[in-house]
Structure 1
């Protein structure tokens, strides 16, 4: 019974035994008193089908037990677990934090190739079960990540809408733009709004800005693409699209898709290096049908 070596567990067990003992003793004494006592005394004004209750004081034992519980609860919350004492959960969190700090120091200056390789390893272990080992989404069962962070991802969102990111502005509907206009908007976002600052279609950027302004994109994402002023969670900040910051939000909050719920990966305690590696791996993938 190694768990008894934890002082907090031991104190909690002793307290529970004490409470149980007091409850049994008090209840036994009151039951005995009820059996021996003869009905007498003042009745209250309450009456249910001819049954009334005596106007008696609260039992002293009950009051004492309640006060002891209140004192114990105050001590437990503010002076024992979890605020000011050892706990196994606290020890685990500290170990994770220490490991992540060592990990980040060791892998802080990886080359791009090494980052991509690390990200591939994380993806295969954590993500491929739903997105497939090629990240194409296993025939629509999950998001096709080969398009993520690229013009193709924006075009797909314009054509099919977006659901499940949990923004206050609601789900993004299908915009109904032509393929040419969608391509232009995607090039403008990647070149001028996103921190990536690069597009495959530089000749489409000016047209894309005009379409962005007239197609209603600014109504949710703001004129600069960073969202509506004073409404941080109204719509996605497009300046983060294609960066690890956008991926970090999805990993932290999860995503509700058309076929199910992607869970939050916050419990995995991914550190910044791992998230950056995963983002670089996904960005290195080529959309389906391209070389």
Structure 2
């Protein structure tokens, strides 16, 4: 072995030993897979860097250029048609094999993950949060719901829940007549209620107009005759028969949960789904706050 290569490998060894001493002084646990992989990577880099650099520096001193020149040249500078050096080819193949191992077994899928640790901590915190607030008072729920609404919902629905002039659902007015008519005409099954899909065309003409206007006006006074068909699923009071169909009288918890889970598309646009974004207590708090906006 050439003297320059030997010197380079000795230098790499000194660097590796120095790195190991620093690791011990910093009390880094090499039994941890991530720390061990990092250390071995540093060793490999040191050996390859100094070894390869020394090898080719030695070759530049002793080797002579031979081979067939390519026809092309640039300002008189030609290029030889030499084969790819075996060392480069084997190094490339080795890197590919290492990359597959690293991805499948070494780190991302089989060891420590910052994202995994974060998700684990969030899950533990959410469980603690649920335990602390499982019996929260209406006042606490309302305050909590307001905080959630202002951060998560207000950018689309407005700070007061007014829907920003028709850009999103107006929580202060419940449904508009046009929205109710659209559902009567087209049907509805986006929210996946146990009662099943609402077929299109459950009321026609003046009957549909009367039902839509009555619902939009807060279901005050005597219900129109056509309401009897709707009441079969929504109940005579319009509250959804215990959560089996949408509540048409107010923004109850079940409706809020279904919209958050499945999203909703209507005549004013599309609200994306947010499954898993909130804990059950947060959903309850959000529903409690939205119910106050109607008042």
Normalised by the length of structure 2, the TM-score is: 0.51
Q: Deviations over 1:4-24 (max 9, x none)?
A: 999737845863784597478
Kindly tell me: are residues 102 and 182 of structure 1, through their superposed partners in 2, closer, same or farther at Cα, counting changes over 3 Å? farther
Distance across 1 between alignment mates of 2:290 and 2:114:
36
Structure 2 unaligned residues grouped into runs of 5+: 1-25, 191-203, 232-243, 247-252
- Output one character per residue of 1:134-187: Cα deviation in whole Å (capped at 9) or x when no partner: 11023345442335xx5448726829x99xxx9xxxxxxxxxx87862562698
Shift in Å, 1:97: 0.4
User: What stretches of structure 1 of length at least 5 have no aligned partner?
Assistant: 167-176, 191-197, 210-223, 227-239
Aligned length: 223
Please name the residue that 2:235 is paired with. Answer: none
Maintained 8 Å contact 1:120/1:281 = yes
Do residues 54 (structure 1) and 76 (structure 2) align? no
Q: Which residue of 1 aligns with 2:261?
A: 248
Aligned partner of 2:67 in structure 1 is 40
What's the offset of the Cα at 1:119?
A: 1.5
**Superposition RMSD in Å:** 5.4
Which residue pairs with 2:289 in the alignment?
A: 281
Match for residue 89 of structure 1 among 112, 115, 137: 115
Within a 5 Å distance, the mapping from 1:173-188 to structure 2 comes to: 181=208, 184=211
Whether 1:69 aligns to 2:77 is no
Change (3 A) 1:157 1:72: farther
Cα 1:39/1:102, change in 2 over 3 Å: same
Distance between the aligned counterparts of 2:223 and 2:43, measured in 1?
A: 73
Structure 1 distance, partners of 2:118, 2:211, is: 49
Q: Give the 3 Å change call, closer, same or farther, for CA 64–245 of structure 1 in structure 2.
A: same
